[in-house]
């Protein structure tokens, strides 16, 4: 016990010392004169995400040979582990030079807690206001200020399907169903042919499926209204949406809670054990890495009923208040917002660049179609990935969705979703 | 006066760092936890107003928290009953002079050497909920596949994914892990009963059953009490095993106060998280404190 206490006191003393660091004015920090190391905090610890980060670091080393990159990645739990470590570090006054956060409502928590530097002047210097699409800038701007730099764009409303399974059930893989009812009819046929129609995994992937069904049933405008209070959670349309979700769940694998993450659910589609999987476009990187060919082995299409809508989330990087090396942070932000940085990172991660001026011919077939859709579609914010609502709201709604998986009580889910919305919406 | 300091001084100087550090890092932090649990810090905002016991009242009225308490009770009952039954049974078998006692003692005790996290990873696979007669049944793994292959297919079930009784399945690996420990406790108890007592009872014409009923069991009751306390408080703080078996912390079916505290914490609901932590501390105290009082009275006697 004594030894543990001693260790703890040494650690505490270390925290106090490091909290006294920090220094020069952020406005004056000049990335071209930066030296030392830059600590960047992410949850990109393996898979396509790690490959993407490595590609980005290569560009960084090239652009800033005087700086060393310090990888502070924390693995696990789709970022939830990393976020709690980060929250503790920020609270104790020990921020990294830059950290990853989903653009949108998730960022709002850090802004409210006064933990982020305003990057508006950085946007002007680096001329990012012209490089990023206006829709994205609107979602990043809070009270006229911008606090983060997006590295990529993901789409959360994509269905990935196994061609062989669809053909066995007598369906044409090249003509995806137009709306939810047509999709359910297709899934009935797949069920008859003896395969699980829809693969889904643990709680957060169920929340993403729920979000897709809400979007498909309500349409883009009413879906966005759920998060700003203009759509009534108690309306009959929402009841209809939850009933659709219940129907969708009836087509899923019964061991969904046992699957550890999105990977195993997507694997079921790869193996032909399930026909469809609703997943973000990071699944594309998994299909590519496992050597499957788009068109012949698998097909993808927007979730039926959401054609023309881009359910968006973006990873972005910040400059925390009290960062030990603000000039280095700006150098990192410059790299991730540069054309070369966005190209290298996104080619590896399966996402698409946030900049509109990155040449698209270097990207794969899926990414090219996504780049096209992002420029023309209506954009809505993803619920499951922190773009639509703050973490606390998402967390409580996730509990309600997880609870629904057992008794499947439509009225109960609607009532708890409504009261959660009342609690958090201003 | 000086003499007193000479007797007490060195000892006090030696233990004072421990006392100070314990005061800060254990009791000080408990106090801070209680203080946070009485504020309205439900988001990551630094704002915090004192709200008294509101969080506690709301939590006890909250259906989700009641669900987690019910799960905890179910888990504790199954865990306790399982370890006591198996632990006693094994100790009773090994207690008679039999072949290979040392070997079986190691076999039964061995699971305790494995951490909950490590065994949880294996049990996640063993407790897979997919059954062979469901769609996709060819992917069935673990216990359900085993039961099917030995002709006990009707025993397959969804294990911890069952919305009402699922949490009892979490007790299965916990029982596997700690029955050996309870066995060791009981075995020590059996060995502590002198042979003369048994001989005397047998000479008086006592049957085997009566010997156990009136001579041996009464002497095992202190062992039984220790086992109940140790297993009971382990069940209250069981978190690592659940996190290792259940991939998503926010899975409603298996929510117990310990996992709910974590979910609230990662959702930046610090006040609720601290309140649940305090409630758990009180629950553990309710189990442990009467035991401490009881043993200290026993020792004085």
Look at residues A409, A37, A394 and name the one whose alpha carbon lies nearest to residue A204. Answer: A394
Cβ B245 vs Cβ B123: under 8 Å: yes
Look at residues A364, A231, A375, A234 and name the one whose alpha carbon lies nearest to residue A310. Answer: A375
User: How far apart, in Å, are the Cα atoms of A20 and each of A11, A15, A23, A30?
Assistant: 15, 9, 9, 22
- The pLDDT tens digits along chain A (426 residues) read 444 454 455 455 444 444 444 444 677 778 887 888 999 999 888 777 888 899 999 999 999 999 999 999 887 656 777 887 888 888 888 999 999 998 888 888 888 888 999 999 999 988 899 889 888 888 888 888 999 999 999 999 999 999 999 999 999 999 999 999 999 999 999 999 989 999 999 899 999 999 999 999 999 999 999 998 899 999 999 999 999 999 999 999 988 888 878 888 999 999 999 999 999 988 888 898 899 999 999 999 999 999 999 999 999 999 999 999 999 999 999 999 999 999 999 988 888 999 988 888 888 889 999 999 998 899 999 999 888 988 889 989 999 999 998 889 999 999 999 999 998 875
CA separation for the pair A47, A29 (Å, rounded)? 34
pLDDT at A76: 65
Q: How far is CA A142 from the centre of its chain?
A: 19
Look at residues A143, A135, A72, A142 and name the one whose alpha carbon lies nearest to residue A106. Answer: A142
Give chain A positions within 8 Å (CB) of B61: none
- Whether B268 and A391 lie within 8 Å, measured CB to CB: yes
Cross-chain CB nearest to A1 (options B18, B46, B64) = B18
pLDDT digits (tens, 9 = 90+) for A114-137: 899 999 999 998 889 988 988 888
DSSP element (H, E) containing A101: strand A98-102
Cross-chain CB nearest to B130 (options A2, A254, A402) = A254
Distance from the B264 Cα atom to the nearest Cα atom in chain A, whole angstroms:
8
Q: Does A403 touch chain B (CB under 8 A)?
A: yes
CA separation for the pair A370, A387 (Å, rounded)? 18
CB atoms within 10 A of CB A246: 15
pLDDT digits (tens, 9 = 90+) for B112-158: 889 999 999 999 999 988 888 877 778 888 898 899 899 888 888 88
Q: Does A204 touch chain B (CB under 8 A)?
A: yes
- Whether A5 and B64 lie within 8 Å, measured CB to CB: no
How far apart are the two ends of chain B, measured CA to CA in Å? 33
Give chain A positions within 8 Å (CB) of B21: 2, 5-6, 8-9
Q: How far is CA B77 from the centre of its chain?
A: 10
Spatial CB neighbours of B75, under 8 Å, sequence gap ≥ 6: B167, B168, B170, B171, B235, B238, B256
- Whether B267 and A407 lie within 8 Å, measured CB to CB: no
Q: What is the mean pLDDT of residues B277-281?
A: 95
CA separation for the pair B260, B267 (Å, rounded)? 11
Give the ipTM of the model, two decimals please.
0.84
pLDDT digits (tens, 9 = 90+) for A68-117: 999 998 876 567 778 878 888 888 889 999 999 988 888 888 888 889 99
Residue spans of beta strands (DSSP E) within A6-95:
36-41, 67-71
Give chain B positions within 8 Å (CB) of A116: none
Distance from the A261 Cα atom to the nearest Cα atom in chain B, whole angstroms:
7
Size of interface A-B (CB pairs under 8 A): 132
Cβ B142 vs Cβ B127: under 8 Å: yes
- Whether B25 and A8 lie within 8 Å, measured CB to CB: yes
Spatial CB neighbours of A121, under 8 Å, sequence gap ≥ 6: A27
Which residues of B sit within 8 Å Cβ distance of A?
17-18, 21-22, 25, 42-46, 64, 124, 127-131, 134-136, 138-139, 158, 160-161, 163-164, 246-253, 255, 263-269
Cross-chain CB nearest to B129 (options A87, A196, A255) = A255
The pTM for the full model equals 0.87
Distance from the A127 Cα atom to the nearest Cα atom in chain B, whole angstroms:
32
Give chain B positions within 8 Å (CB) of A194: 135
Q: Does A391 touch chain B (CB under 8 A)?
A: yes
Q: Which residue has the tokens 């609107």?
A: A138
Chain B residue with minimum CA distance to A391:
B267
CA separation for the pair A412, B71 (Å, rounded)? 20
Specify the CATH number for B21-300; select among 1.10.357.140, 1.10.3720.10, 3.40.50.10490, 1.10.260.40.
1.10.3720.10
CA separation for the pair A29, A25 (Å, rounded)? 6
CA separation for the pair A40, A70 (Å, rounded)? 6
pLDDT at B205: 86
- Whether B266 and A196 lie within 8 Å, measured CB to CB: no
CA separation for the pair B141, B127 (Å, rounded)? 8
- The dihedral formed by the CA atoms of B269, B274, B277 and B278, expressed in degrees to the nearest 10: -150
Structural domains of chain A ordered from first start: 34-154+314-381 (3.40.190.10), 158-311+384-425 (3.40.190.10)
- Whether A392 and B139 lie within 8 Å, measured CB to CB: no
Chain B residue with minimum CA distance to A401:
B252
Cβ A37 vs Cβ A67: under 8 Å: yes
- Whether A5 and B267 lie within 8 Å, measured CB to CB: no
- Whether A202 and B251 lie within 8 Å, measured CB to CB: yes
SS3 state at A159: strand
- Whether B135 and A201 lie within 8 Å, measured CB to CB: no
Which of A85, A88, A258 best probes binding to B when mutated, by most B CB atoms within 10 angstroms? A258
Distance from the B199 Cα atom to the nearest Cα atom in chain A, whole angstroms:
46
Exposed, middle or buried, A269 (CB in 10 Å: 0-12/13-18/19+)? buried
Residue-range domain boundaries for chain B: 21-300
Q: What is the mean pLDDT of residues B266-286?
A: 91
């Amino acid at each position: 016990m004594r030894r543990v206490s001693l260790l703890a006191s040494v650690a505490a003393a270390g925290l106090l010392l490091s909290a006294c660091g920090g220094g020069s004015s952020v406005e004056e920090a000049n990335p071209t004169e930066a030296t030392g190391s830059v600590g960047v905090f992410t949850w990109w610890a393996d898979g396509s995400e790690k490959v993407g980060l490595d590609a980005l670091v290569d560009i960084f080393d090239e652009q800033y040979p005087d700086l060393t990159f310090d990888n502070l990645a924390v693995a696990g739990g789709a970022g939830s582990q990393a976020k709690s470590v980060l929250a503790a570090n920020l609270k104790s006054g020990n921020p990294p030079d830059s950290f990853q956060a989903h653009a949108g409502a998730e960022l709002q928590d850090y802004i409210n807690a006064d933990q982020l530097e305003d990057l508006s002047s950085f946007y002007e210097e680096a001329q990012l206001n012209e490089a990023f699409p206006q829709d994205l800038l609107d979602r990043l701007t809070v009270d006229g200020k911008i606090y983060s730099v997006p590295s990529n764009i993901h789409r959360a409303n994509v269905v990935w399907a196994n061609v062989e399974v669809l053909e066995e059930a007598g369906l044409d893989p090249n003509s995806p169903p137009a709306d939810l009812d047509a999709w359910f009819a297709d899934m009935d046929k797949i069920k008859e042919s003896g395969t699980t129609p829809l693969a889904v995994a643990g709680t957060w992937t169920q929340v993403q499926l729920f979000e897709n069904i809400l979007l498909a049933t309500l349409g883009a405008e009413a879906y966005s209204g759920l998060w700003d209070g203009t759509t009534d959670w108690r309306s009959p349309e929402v009841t209809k949406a939850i009933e659709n979700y219940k129907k969708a769940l009836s087509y899923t694998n019964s061991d969904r809670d046992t699957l550890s993450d999105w990977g195993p659910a997507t694997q079921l589609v790869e193996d032909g054990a399930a026909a469809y999987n609703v997943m973000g476009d990071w699944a594309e990187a998994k299909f590519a890495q496992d050597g499957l060919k788009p068109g012949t082995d698998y097909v993808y299409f927007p979730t039926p009923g959401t054609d023309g809508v881009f359910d968006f989330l973006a990873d972005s990087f910040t400059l925390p208040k009290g960062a030990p090396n603000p000039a280095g942070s700006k150098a990192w932000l410059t790299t991730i917002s540069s054309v070369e940085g966005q190209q290298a990172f996104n080619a590896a991660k399966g996402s698409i660049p946030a900049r509109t001026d990155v040449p698209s011919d270097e990207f794969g077939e899926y990414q090219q179609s996504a780049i096209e859709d992002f420029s023309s579609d209506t954009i809505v914010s993803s619920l499951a990935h922190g773009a639509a609502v703050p973490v606390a709201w998402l967390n409580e709604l996730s509990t309600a969705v997880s609870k629904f998986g057992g008794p499947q009580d439509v009225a109960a889910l609607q009532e708890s979703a409504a009261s959660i919305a009342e609690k958090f919406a201003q | 006066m000086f003499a007193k300091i000479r007797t007490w001084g060195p000892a006090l100087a030696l233990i004072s760092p421990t006392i100070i550090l314990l005061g800060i890092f254990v009791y000080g932090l408990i106090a801070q936890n209680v203080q946070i649990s009485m504020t309205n810090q439900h988001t990551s905002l630094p704002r915090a107003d004192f709200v008294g016991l509101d969080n506690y009242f709301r939590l006890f009225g909250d259906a989700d928290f009641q669900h987690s308490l019910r799960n905890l009770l179910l888990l504790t009952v199954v865990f306790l009953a399982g370890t006591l039954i198996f632990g006693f049974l094994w100790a009773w078998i090994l207690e008679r002079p039999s072949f290979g006692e040392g070997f079986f003692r190691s076999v039964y005790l061995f699971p305790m050497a494995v951490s909950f996290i490590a065994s949880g990873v294996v049990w996640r696979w063993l407790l897979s909920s997919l059954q062979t007669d469901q769609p996709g049944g060819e992917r069935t793994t673990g216990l359900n596949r085993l039961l099917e292959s030995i002709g006990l297919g009707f025993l397959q079930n969804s294990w911890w994914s069952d919305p009402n009784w699922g949490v009892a399945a979490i007790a299965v690996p916990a029982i596997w892990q700690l029955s050996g420990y309870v066995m060791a406790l009981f075995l020590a108890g059996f060995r502590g009963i002198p042979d003369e007592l048994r001989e005397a009872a047998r000479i008086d014409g006592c049957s085997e059953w009566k010997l156990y009923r009136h001579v041996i069991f009464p002497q095992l009751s202190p062992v039984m009490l220790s086992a109940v306390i140790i297993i009971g408080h382990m069940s209250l703080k069981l978190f690592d095993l659940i996190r290792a078996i259940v991939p998503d912390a926010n899975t409603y079916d298996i929510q117990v106060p310990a996992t709910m505290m974590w979910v609230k914490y990662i959702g930046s609901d610090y006040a609720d998280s601290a309140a649940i932590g305090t409630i758990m501390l009180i629950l553990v105290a309710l189990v442990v404190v009467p035991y401490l009082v009881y043993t200290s009275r026993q020792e004085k006697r």
